[in-house]
């Protein structure tokens, strides 16, 4: 590849690059959301077993997938920041955390709303719901630890270590919860039995892409703010758009 990736590892250059990428991701997220919702609600047929209720899947499954992937990405960035001491990776990790937590929350919320008509209860101690809840706790722990340490360097490193320990724990937690659930013989409905219509899969895929684009846009926007915040004492920052065109207030 001709692009020198290391060039963009510096917050200074990444700031500009992220600024250029955000509109693309934002626009594609909006378009994909519209397309996905259109296909999901107007093209995809009604499910034989679950009626209209199954349409929650188009938001529930993408957000669940994203919440898990974002945790892994966050832990990966955190590990990079911890091992190679690259500032940008730590900033990315702390920018991803809130979005991941929100995705986990949406996934839980929509899961509960799906559960009510299907299981007759808002909440089931289903293995997936429970693991998702624990994932949300892990996100909240990361955010809380990062927020309560004043020194940004220590905050980055401590939260990174926590994220890594958490990501090692995630498979153990998932396995144990699943095992616990089968022991208790919960009334979990298996969705794999019903074959999915092709259109449903397409809508799901488009919504997944929409969520990815949205997550990229928001995370990049947040990381730009974090870069500004951390680098506010440097001179390059006075030349960026948003600062440079505002002349110094005359006194």
Partner 1 sequence: MSLDIWMRENPLAYVWIGSYAVALLIFAIEIAMVIHKRKITLQQVRLMRDAKNETFGNETYGDEE
Partner 2 sequence: MIEDHRDMKKSTMFDLLVLVIRRDLVLAMRRRADVLTTLIFFVMVVSLFPLGVGPEMDMLRKMAAGVLWVAALLSSMLSLGRLFSADYLDGTLEQMMLAPQSLSMLVLGKMAAHWMVSGLPLVMLAPVLGLQFDMPVREIGVLIAGLLLGTPILSMVGAIGAALTLGLRGGGVLLSLLVLPLCIPVLIFGAGAVEAVSSGLPIASHLSLLGALLVLSLVFTPWVTAQALRISME
Positions in the binding site for partner 1 (CB under 8 A): 37, 41, 51-53, 55-56, 59-60, 63, 98-99, 102, 105-106, 109-110, 113-114, 116-117, 214, 218, 221-222, 224-225, 228-229, 232-233, 237-238, 242-243, 246, 248-249, 251
The answer to whether residue 79 forms part of the interface with partner 2 (CB under 8 A) is no
The answer to whether residue 112 forms part of the interface with partner 2 (CB under 8 A) is no
- Residue 110 touches which of partner 1, partner 2, none (Cβ within 5-8 Å per kind): partner 1
CB of 110 to partner 1, least distance (A): 4
The answer to whether residue 157 forms part of the interface with partner 2 (CB under 8 A) is yes
CA distance 212 to 32: 10
51: left (phi over 0), alpha (psi -120 to 50) or beta: left
What are the phi and psi torsion angles at 47 (to 5°)?
-75, 140
CA distance 231 to 150: 16
Q: Candidates 21-29, 58-66, 148-156, 229-237 — which segment interacts with partner 2 by CB under 8 A? A: 148-156
Among 70, 92, 106, 134, contact with partner 2 (rule: CB under 8 A): 134
The answer to whether residue 182 forms part of the interface with partner 2 (CB under 8 A) is no
CB of 176 to partner 1, least distance (A): 29
The answer to whether residue 123 forms part of the interface with partner 2 (CB under 8 A) is no
CA distance 220 to 153: 20
Which residues, other chains included, contact 142 with Cβ-Cβ below 8 Å and sequence gap of 6+? 74, 97, 159, 162, 163, 166
CB 149 within 8 A of CB 141: no
The answer to whether residue 188 forms part of the interface with partner 2 (CB under 8 A) is no
The interaxial angle of helices 57-84 and 87-119, nearest 10 deg, is: 160
CB of 239 to partner 1, least distance (A): 10
Largest CA distance in the chain: 73
Nearest to 135 by CA among 112, 102, 95: 102
CB of 150 to partner 1, least distance (A): 17
CB of 81 to partner 1, least distance (A): 21
CB of 67 to partner 2, least distance (A): 15
């Amino acid at each position: 590849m001709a692009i020198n990736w290391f060039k963009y590892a510096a917050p200074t250059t990444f700031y500009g690059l992220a600024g250029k990428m955000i509109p693309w991701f934002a626009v594609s997220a909006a378009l994909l959301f519209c397309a996905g919702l259109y296909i999901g609600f107007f093209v995809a047929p009604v499910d034989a077993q679950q009626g209209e209720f199954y349409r929650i899947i188009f938001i529930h499954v993408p957000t669940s997938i994203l919440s898990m992937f974002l945790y892994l990405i966050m832990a990966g960035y955190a590990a990079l920041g911890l091992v190679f001491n690259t500032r940008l990776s730590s900033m990315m990790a702390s920018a991803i955390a809130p979005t991941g937590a929100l995705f986990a929350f949406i996934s839980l919320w929509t899961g509960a709303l799906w559960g009510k008509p299907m299981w007759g209860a808002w909440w089931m101690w289903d293995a997936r719901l429970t693991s998702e809840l624990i994932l949300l706790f892990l996100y909240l722990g990361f955010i809380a630890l990062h927020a309560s340490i004043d020194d940004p360097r220590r905050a980055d490193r401590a939260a990174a270590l926590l994220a890594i320990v958490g990501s090692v724990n995630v498979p153990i937690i998932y396995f144990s919860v699943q095992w616990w659930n089968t022991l208790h013989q919960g009334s979990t409905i298996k969705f794999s039995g019903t074959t999915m219509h092709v259109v449903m899969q397409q809508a799901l895929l488009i919504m997944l892409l929409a969520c990815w684009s949205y997550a990229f846009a928001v995370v990049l926007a947040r990381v730009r703010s974090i870069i500004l915040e951390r680098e506010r004492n440097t001179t390059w920052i006075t030349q960026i758009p948003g600062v440079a065109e505002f002349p110094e207030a005359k006194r």
